[in-house]
Amino acid sequence: MTNLQYNKIKVILMIMCIFALVGSGCGVNKPAESLSSRTFQDDVGRRVQIEKTDKIVALSNSFLDILHGLDAKVIGIPNTKETDLNQYFSTAEKVGFVYNINIEKVVALQPDLVIAYQGIHDKFIPILEANNIPVLVIKMKTYDEVLTKIKLLAEILNNKEKGQTLIENLTNSVATIKSKLPSQSKSIVILHSTARDVTVELESSIAGCSAQTLGLKNLANNQEALSNNPEMTPYSLEKMVAMNPEIIFVTIMGKEAELKTKMLAEMKNNPAWASLQAVKNNQVYFLEQDLFQINPGLRYPEAIATMAKLAYPEVDYGK
Protein backbone atom coordinates (compact mmCIF):
# COMPACT_ATOMS: atom_id res chain seq x y z
CA MET A 1 0.00 0.00 0.00
CA THR A 2 1.40 3.41 -0.99
CA ASN A 3 1.49 6.40 1.38
CA LEU A 4 -1.12 8.12 -0.77
CA GLN A 5 -3.53 5.19 -0.47
CA TYR A 6 -2.90 4.96 3.28
CA ASN A 7 -3.65 8.66 3.76
CA LYS A 8 -6.89 8.36 1.76
CA ILE A 9 -8.05 5.51 4.00
CA LYS A 10 -7.26 7.57 7.11
CA VAL A 11 -9.33 10.49 5.81
CA ILE A 12 -12.29 8.21 5.00
CA LEU A 13 -12.16 6.62 8.46
CA MET A 14 -12.05 10.04 10.13
CA ILE A 15 -15.11 11.21 8.18
CA MET A 16 -17.00 8.04 9.13
CA CYS A 17 -16.19 8.63 12.81
CA ILE A 18 -17.45 12.21 12.63
CA PHE A 19 -20.78 11.10 11.11
CA ALA A 20 -21.07 8.36 13.73
CA LEU A 21 -20.61 10.90 16.53
CA VAL A 22 -23.15 13.30 15.05
CA GLY A 23 -25.68 10.54 14.50
CA SER A 24 -25.37 9.35 18.10
CA GLY A 25 -25.83 12.83 19.54
CA CYS A 26 -22.16 13.02 20.53
CA GLY A 27 -22.60 10.19 23.00
CA VAL A 28 -25.57 11.78 24.88
CA ASN A 29 -28.48 9.39 25.39
CA LYS A 30 -31.87 11.07 24.74
CA PRO A 31 -35.32 9.48 24.89
CA ALA A 32 -36.68 8.68 21.46
CA GLU A 33 -39.43 11.03 20.28
CA SER A 34 -41.43 10.92 17.08
CA LEU A 35 -40.60 13.66 14.63
CA SER A 36 -44.35 14.32 14.31
CA SER A 37 -44.93 14.52 18.09
CA ARG A 38 -46.28 17.83 19.39
CA THR A 39 -47.12 19.02 22.90
CA PHE A 40 -50.23 20.94 23.96
CA GLN A 41 -51.43 22.22 27.33
CA ASP A 42 -54.95 21.32 28.42
CA ASP A 43 -57.30 23.12 30.81
CA VAL A 44 -56.04 21.34 33.92
CA GLY A 45 -52.46 22.45 33.23
CA ARG A 46 -51.18 19.14 31.86
CA ARG A 47 -48.78 19.04 28.93
CA VAL A 48 -50.06 16.41 26.52
CA GLN A 49 -47.83 14.88 23.85
CA ILE A 50 -49.79 14.00 20.71
CA GLU A 51 -48.24 12.06 17.84
CA LYS A 52 -51.24 11.11 15.70
CA THR A 53 -54.91 12.02 15.41
CA ASP A 54 -56.13 9.23 13.13
CA LYS A 55 -58.29 7.72 15.89
CA ILE A 56 -60.06 10.10 18.28
CA VAL A 57 -62.52 9.32 21.07
CA ALA A 58 -64.69 12.22 22.31
CA LEU A 59 -66.20 11.74 25.77
CA SER A 60 -68.68 14.63 25.49
CA ASN A 61 -71.30 15.48 22.89
CA SER A 62 -70.22 19.13 23.19
CA PHE A 63 -67.13 18.38 21.09
CA LEU A 64 -68.82 16.56 18.23
CA ASP A 65 -69.93 19.38 15.93
CA ILE A 66 -66.54 21.08 16.23
CA LEU A 67 -64.71 17.82 15.48
CA HIS A 68 -67.00 17.25 12.51
CA GLY A 69 -66.38 20.81 11.32
CA LEU A 70 -62.64 20.16 11.49
CA ASP A 71 -62.89 16.85 9.59
CA ALA A 72 -61.63 14.85 12.57
CA LYS A 73 -61.43 11.04 12.42
CA VAL A 74 -63.64 10.07 15.37
CA ILE A 75 -63.90 6.39 16.33
CA GLY A 76 -65.69 6.71 19.69
CA ILE A 77 -68.52 8.94 20.95
CA PRO A 78 -70.89 9.03 23.94
CA ASN A 79 -74.34 7.50 23.77
CA THR A 80 -76.64 10.26 22.58
CA LYS A 81 -80.13 10.80 21.27
CA GLU A 82 -80.62 11.08 17.55
CA THR A 83 -79.43 14.37 16.06
CA ASP A 84 -78.31 15.61 12.66
CA LEU A 85 -74.74 14.85 13.73
CA ASN A 86 -75.34 11.12 14.13
CA GLN A 87 -75.02 10.47 10.41
CA TYR A 88 -71.44 11.77 10.50
CA PHE A 89 -70.47 9.43 13.33
CA SER A 90 -72.50 6.36 12.33
CA THR A 91 -69.43 4.10 12.37
CA ALA A 92 -68.12 5.36 15.72
CA GLU A 93 -68.37 3.08 18.75
CA LYS A 94 -70.67 4.21 21.58
CA VAL A 95 -68.64 4.38 24.81
CA GLY A 96 -71.40 5.08 27.33
CA PHE A 97 -73.24 8.18 28.49
CA VAL A 98 -71.32 11.38 29.20
CA TYR A 99 -71.60 10.92 32.98
CA ASN A 100 -71.16 7.14 32.84
CA ILE A 101 -68.36 6.43 30.36
CA ASN A 102 -67.25 2.82 29.86
CA ILE A 103 -63.52 3.49 30.19
CA GLU A 104 -62.61 -0.15 29.47
CA LYS A 105 -64.27 0.20 26.08
CA VAL A 106 -62.37 3.44 25.43
CA VAL A 107 -59.05 1.74 26.23
CA ALA A 108 -59.93 -1.24 24.02
CA LEU A 109 -60.32 1.11 21.04
CA GLN A 110 -56.65 2.14 21.46
CA PRO A 111 -57.26 5.71 20.26
CA ASP A 112 -54.50 8.16 19.34
CA LEU A 113 -56.25 10.81 21.45
CA VAL A 114 -59.09 11.03 23.96
CA ILE A 115 -60.81 14.39 24.43
CA ALA A 116 -62.38 14.63 27.89
CA TYR A 117 -64.50 17.26 29.64
CA GLN A 118 -63.03 18.98 32.70
CA GLY A 119 -64.94 18.29 35.89
CA ILE A 120 -66.59 15.15 34.49
CA HIS A 121 -63.84 12.89 33.15
CA ASP A 122 -60.76 13.92 35.17
CA LYS A 123 -60.92 10.61 37.06
CA PHE A 124 -60.04 8.74 33.86
CA ILE A 125 -56.68 10.49 33.38
CA PRO A 126 -54.60 7.93 35.38
CA ILE A 127 -56.22 4.97 33.60
CA LEU A 128 -55.62 6.39 30.13
CA GLU A 129 -52.08 7.47 30.96
CA ALA A 130 -51.33 3.97 32.31
CA ASN A 131 -52.34 2.62 28.90
CA ASN A 132 -50.20 5.18 27.04
CA ILE A 133 -53.27 6.91 25.60
CA PRO A 134 -52.97 10.71 25.36
CA VAL A 135 -55.94 12.48 26.97
CA LEU A 136 -56.71 16.17 26.53
CA VAL A 137 -58.97 17.55 29.29
CA ILE A 138 -60.76 20.72 28.26
CA LYS A 139 -63.46 23.04 29.58
CA MET A 140 -65.92 24.51 27.12
CA LYS A 141 -68.83 26.38 28.65
CA THR A 142 -68.80 30.02 27.53
CA TYR A 143 -68.86 31.44 24.00
CA ASP A 144 -65.24 32.62 24.30
CA GLU A 145 -64.19 29.14 25.43
CA VAL A 146 -65.81 27.66 22.32
CA LEU A 147 -63.74 29.99 20.14
CA THR A 148 -60.47 29.14 21.93
CA LYS A 149 -61.18 25.40 21.76
CA ILE A 150 -61.88 25.57 18.03
CA LYS A 151 -58.48 27.20 17.62
CA LEU A 152 -56.77 24.58 19.82
CA LEU A 153 -58.40 21.58 18.16
CA ALA A 154 -57.73 23.00 14.70
CA GLU A 155 -54.05 23.23 15.58
CA ILE A 156 -53.99 19.69 16.97
CA LEU A 157 -55.71 18.37 13.83
CA ASN A 158 -53.47 20.38 11.49
CA ASN A 159 -56.52 22.12 10.07
CA LYS A 160 -55.96 25.75 11.05
CA GLU A 161 -57.57 27.14 7.91
CA LYS A 162 -60.85 25.30 8.56
CA GLY A 163 -60.69 26.34 12.21
CA GLN A 164 -60.34 29.99 11.26
CA THR A 165 -63.35 29.67 8.96
CA LEU A 166 -65.46 28.19 11.78
CA ILE A 167 -64.42 31.00 14.13
CA GLU A 168 -65.24 33.67 11.57
CA ASN A 169 -68.65 32.13 10.89
CA LEU A 170 -69.49 32.12 14.61
CA THR A 171 -68.28 35.65 15.32
CA ASN A 172 -70.05 37.05 12.26
CA SER A 173 -73.33 35.36 13.23
CA VAL A 174 -73.18 36.69 16.79
CA ALA A 175 -72.22 40.18 15.59
CA THR A 176 -75.24 40.21 13.25
CA ILE A 177 -77.59 39.32 16.11
CA LYS A 178 -76.12 41.98 18.42
CA SER A 179 -76.34 44.65 15.73
CA LYS A 180 -80.14 44.33 15.70
CA LEU A 181 -80.67 44.73 19.45
CA PRO A 182 -82.21 47.87 20.97
CA SER A 183 -79.99 50.04 23.16
CA GLN A 184 -82.33 49.63 26.12
CA SER A 185 -81.34 46.56 28.16
CA LYS A 186 -83.71 44.36 30.16
CA SER A 187 -83.23 42.81 33.60
CA ILE A 188 -83.31 39.03 33.92
CA VAL A 189 -82.86 36.13 36.32
CA ILE A 190 -82.02 32.61 35.10
CA LEU A 191 -83.35 29.74 37.21
CA HIS A 192 -81.96 26.22 36.98
CA SER A 193 -84.40 23.50 37.99
CA THR A 194 -83.64 19.86 38.79
CA ALA A 195 -85.56 17.12 40.58
CA ARG A 196 -83.66 18.01 43.77
CA ASP A 197 -83.61 21.79 43.89
CA VAL A 198 -83.63 25.17 42.17
CA THR A 199 -80.56 27.37 41.81
CA VAL A 200 -79.82 30.62 39.98
CA GLU A 201 -77.38 30.81 37.07
CA LEU A 202 -74.50 33.27 36.87
CA GLU A 203 -72.73 34.66 33.80
CA SER A 204 -70.33 31.71 33.60
CA SER A 205 -73.15 29.31 32.67
CA ILE A 206 -74.25 28.79 29.07
CA ALA A 207 -77.47 30.78 29.52
CA GLY A 208 -75.65 33.37 31.63
CA CYS A 209 -72.98 33.81 28.96
CA SER A 210 -75.64 34.14 26.25
CA ALA A 211 -77.41 36.82 28.29
CA GLN A 212 -74.16 38.68 28.86
CA THR A 213 -73.37 38.56 25.13
CA LEU A 214 -76.76 40.17 24.46
CA GLY A 215 -76.21 42.88 27.06
CA LEU A 216 -79.04 41.64 29.29
CA LYS A 217 -78.67 42.56 32.96
CA ASN A 218 -78.46 39.42 35.07
CA LEU A 219 -79.57 40.64 38.51
CA ALA A 220 -77.94 37.65 40.24
CA ASN A 221 -74.41 38.32 38.98
CA ASN A 222 -73.41 40.06 42.22
CA GLN A 223 -74.47 37.05 44.30
CA GLU A 224 -71.89 34.66 45.78
CA ALA A 225 -71.45 31.43 43.81
CA LEU A 226 -71.97 27.99 45.30
CA SER A 227 -68.74 26.47 46.64
CA ASN A 228 -69.20 23.33 44.54
CA ASN A 229 -70.51 25.06 41.41
CA PRO A 230 -69.14 28.45 40.33
CA GLU A 231 -71.86 28.77 37.68
CA MET A 232 -74.69 28.87 40.23
CA THR A 233 -75.81 30.84 43.27
CA PRO A 234 -78.43 29.72 45.83
CA TYR A 235 -82.10 30.32 45.02
CA SER A 236 -84.36 32.25 47.37
CA LEU A 237 -87.91 33.37 46.61
CA GLU A 238 -87.36 36.32 48.92
CA LYS A 239 -84.39 37.41 46.80
CA MET A 240 -86.41 36.86 43.63
CA VAL A 241 -89.11 39.22 44.90
CA ALA A 242 -86.47 41.81 45.83
CA MET A 243 -84.81 41.58 42.39
CA ASN A 244 -88.15 41.53 40.52
CA PRO A 245 -86.68 40.91 37.03
CA GLU A 246 -88.43 41.86 33.81
CA ILE A 247 -87.73 38.40 32.37
CA ILE A 248 -87.23 34.99 33.97
CA PHE A 249 -85.43 32.30 31.97
CA VAL A 250 -85.50 28.69 33.18
CA THR A 251 -83.15 25.84 32.31
CA ILE A 252 -84.08 22.30 33.29
CA MET A 253 -82.00 19.21 33.98
CA GLY A 254 -84.08 16.06 34.18
CA LYS A 255 -87.67 15.31 33.20
CA GLU A 256 -88.47 18.50 31.35
CA ALA A 257 -92.26 18.27 31.10
CA GLU A 258 -92.70 17.23 34.74
CA LEU A 259 -90.42 19.94 36.17
CA LYS A 260 -91.90 22.62 33.92
CA THR A 261 -95.46 21.77 35.04
CA LYS A 262 -94.40 21.85 38.70
CA MET A 263 -92.71 25.25 38.38
CA LEU A 264 -95.60 26.84 36.46
CA ALA A 265 -98.06 25.60 39.11
CA GLU A 266 -95.99 27.17 41.87
CA MET A 267 -95.77 30.48 40.00
CA LYS A 268 -99.54 30.50 39.56
CA ASN A 269 -100.51 29.49 43.10
CA ASN A 270 -97.87 31.27 45.20
CA PRO A 271 -98.72 34.96 45.84
CA ALA A 272 -95.03 35.88 46.08
CA TRP A 273 -94.36 34.45 42.65
CA ALA A 274 -97.50 36.04 41.25
CA SER A 275 -96.27 39.46 42.40
CA LEU A 276 -93.23 39.38 40.09
CA GLN A 277 -93.51 41.55 36.99
CA ALA A 278 -92.07 38.76 34.80
CA VAL A 279 -94.89 36.44 35.92
CA LYS A 280 -97.57 39.13 35.59
CA ASN A 281 -96.43 39.99 32.06
CA ASN A 282 -95.98 36.36 30.93
CA GLN A 283 -92.24 36.86 30.52
CA VAL A 284 -91.19 33.46 31.88
CA TYR A 285 -89.39 31.35 29.28
CA PHE A 286 -88.12 27.77 29.43
CA LEU A 287 -84.91 27.34 27.45
CA GLU A 288 -84.13 24.33 25.26
CA GLN A 289 -81.99 21.67 26.89
CA ASP A 290 -80.05 21.02 23.67
CA LEU A 291 -78.85 24.61 23.54
CA PHE A 292 -78.56 25.66 27.18
CA GLN A 293 -77.91 22.50 29.20
CA ILE A 294 -75.13 21.00 27.08
CA ASN A 295 -72.60 23.33 25.48
CA PRO A 296 -73.99 24.05 21.99
CA GLY A 297 -70.56 24.30 20.36
CA LEU A 298 -70.97 25.59 16.81
CA ARG A 299 -74.65 26.20 17.63
CA TYR A 300 -73.78 28.93 20.15
CA PRO A 301 -75.13 31.65 17.79
CA GLU A 302 -78.40 29.68 17.71
CA ALA A 303 -78.55 29.72 21.52
CA ILE A 304 -77.84 33.46 21.60
CA ALA A 305 -80.43 34.11 18.87
CA THR A 306 -83.03 32.04 20.75
CA MET A 307 -82.59 34.14 23.87
CA ALA A 308 -82.56 37.38 21.87
CA LYS A 309 -85.89 36.55 20.22
CA LEU A 310 -87.47 35.82 23.61
CA ALA A 311 -86.11 38.98 25.21
CA TYR A 312 -86.83 41.27 22.25
CA PRO A 313 -89.61 39.67 20.17
CA GLU A 314 -90.37 42.98 18.49
CA VAL A 315 -87.02 42.97 16.64
CA ASP A 316 -86.85 41.74 13.05
CA TYR A 317 -83.93 39.30 13.09
CA GLY A 318 -84.39 38.20 9.49
CA LYS A 319 -84.06 34.57 8.48
Residue finishing a domain among 111, 146, 175: 175
Burial 50-72 (b: 16+ CB within 10 A, else e): beebeebbbbbbbbbbbbbbbeb
Q: Residue 124: which CATH number? A: 3.40.50.1980
Q: pLDDT-based confidence at 1, cuts 50/70/90? A: low
Q: What is residue 294's predicted lDDT score, i.e. its pLDDT?
A: 85
Q: Pick the range with the lowest mean pLDDT from 80-84, 177-181, 219-223, 248-252.
A: 80-84
Instruction: Pick the range with the lowest mean pLDDT from 12-26, 107-121, 304-318.
Output: 12-26
- Mark whether 269 and 304 lie in a shared domain: yes
% residues pLDDT > 70 (the chain) = 87
- C-alpha to C-alpha distance for 234 and 8, rounded to whole angstroms: 87
Given this model, what pLDDT does residue 36 score?
67
Is 62 among the domain residues? yes
Nearest to 299 by CA among 189, 193, 146, 194: 146
**Is 25 among the domain residues?**
no
Q: Which ranges in 36-182 belong to alpha helices (H)? A: 64-69, 103-108, 125-130, 143-156, 160-179
**Which pLDDT score is estimated for 128?**
97
Query: Residue 85: is it exposed, middle or buried by C-beta count within 10 angstroms (0-12/13-18/19+)?
Result: middle
Q: 261 pLDDT exceeds 60?
A: yes
Cβ neighbors of 127 (< 8 A, separation 6 or more) are 103, 107
Task: Write the CB contacts of 254 (distance below 8 Å, at least 6 apart in sequence).
Answer: 193, 194, 195
305 and 275 housed in the same domain: yes
Q: Which domain holds residue 77?
A: 38-175
pLDDT at 87: 78
Predicted confidence (pLDDT) per residue in 92-124, tens digit: 999 999 999 999 999 999 999 999 999 999 999
pTM greater than 0.75 (yes/no): yes
